[in-house]
Amino acid sequence: MKFRLNYNPKELSQKVIAKELNKLGISHSFTDNGLLVLTDSISKKLKEDLDNVIAGYGIQLTEAGKSNIVGDIKKAIDELIYSQNMRKKTVSAYLTERLGYTYSYLSNLFSEETYTSIENFIILRKIEYAKKLILQGDMSLTEIAHQLDYSSVAHLSGQFKKVTGLTPTTFLRILERRKTENT
């Protein structure tokens, strides 16, 4: 008889690691995105023991570097914007819950690594998404503003112009003119 193995790699590796950490008496938790957080620092020897044990399962631990965290921040922001959950949580609460770090730490790290703020990055991503929605033509500017959690169309238009140099209406006219010229 042959069987196909169906499993969730993240869940499986977390269970294996948790089992081995418990055996070694190391308190820990996992963030929503799968990062292992050790409650207390551990000795070099204990870390080596852990590495040796989990290597037998084909698992390797690497430290979560700053660039990985910044990438996780960007990914979480995109998920928040594209999932249409902007109104349900504040960005700071969402990032803190999602990534397992304080917002001030995430904000400072993001600024150090990207030379821009999380808030500015969110604006840029929202405007990119607004452009996409405008191009699709399925929604009015009022609907787009609401979906992206802007207080008004004027607020969306102001940020759109600040980022692109064009109002949303001018952006759409230019695209329509290009379409007619190319046909």
Question: Domain check: are 82 and 103 in the same one?
Answer: yes
Locate 83 and state its tokens: 């999932």
What confidence score (pLDDT) does residue 41 get? 82
What confidence score (pLDDT) does residue 131 get? 94
User: What is the value of pTM for the model shown?
Assistant: 0.64
What confidence score (pLDDT) does residue 162 get? 95
Helices (H), 25-167: 44-55, 66-82, 91-99, 103-114, 118-136, 141-147, 153-164
What confidence score (pLDDT) does residue 67 get? 66
Domain assignment present for residue 158? The answer is: yes
Domain assignment present for residue 3? The answer is: no
What confidence score (pLDDT) does residue 46 get? 87
What confidence score (pLDDT) does residue 144 get? 92
Q: By three-state DSSP, how is residue 63 classified?
A: coil
Tell me which amino acid residue 151 is. Answer: S
Domain assignment present for residue 151? The answer is: yes
Question: Domain check: are 135 and 174 in the same one?
Answer: yes
Domain assignment present for residue 129? The answer is: yes
Residues 6+ apart with CB under 8 A from 53: 20, 23, 24
Domain assignment present for residue 24? The answer is: yes
Residue 22 domain boundaries = 9-55
Domain assignment present for residue 2? The answer is: no
Question: Domain check: are 13 and 30 in the same one?
Answer: yes
Question: Domain check: are 128 and 96 in the same one?
Answer: no
Query: In which residue ranges of the chain is pLDDT below 70?
Result: 33, 64-67, 84-87, 183
Tell me which amino acid residue 82 is. Answer: Y
What confidence score (pLDDT) does residue 31 get? 78
Question: Domain check: are 100 and 134 in the same one?
Answer: no
Question: Domain check: are 46 and 83 in the same one?
Answer: no
Query: Total structural domains in the chain?
Result: 3
User: CA nearest 43: which of 51, 31, 35?
Assistant: 51
What confidence score (pLDDT) does residue 86 get? 62
Question: Domain check: are 168 and 123 in the same one?
Answer: yes
- Chain-centroid distance of CA 151 in Å reads 23
Domain assignment present for residue 60? The answer is: no
pLDDT tens readout for residues 109-135:
999 989 999 999 999 999 999 999 998
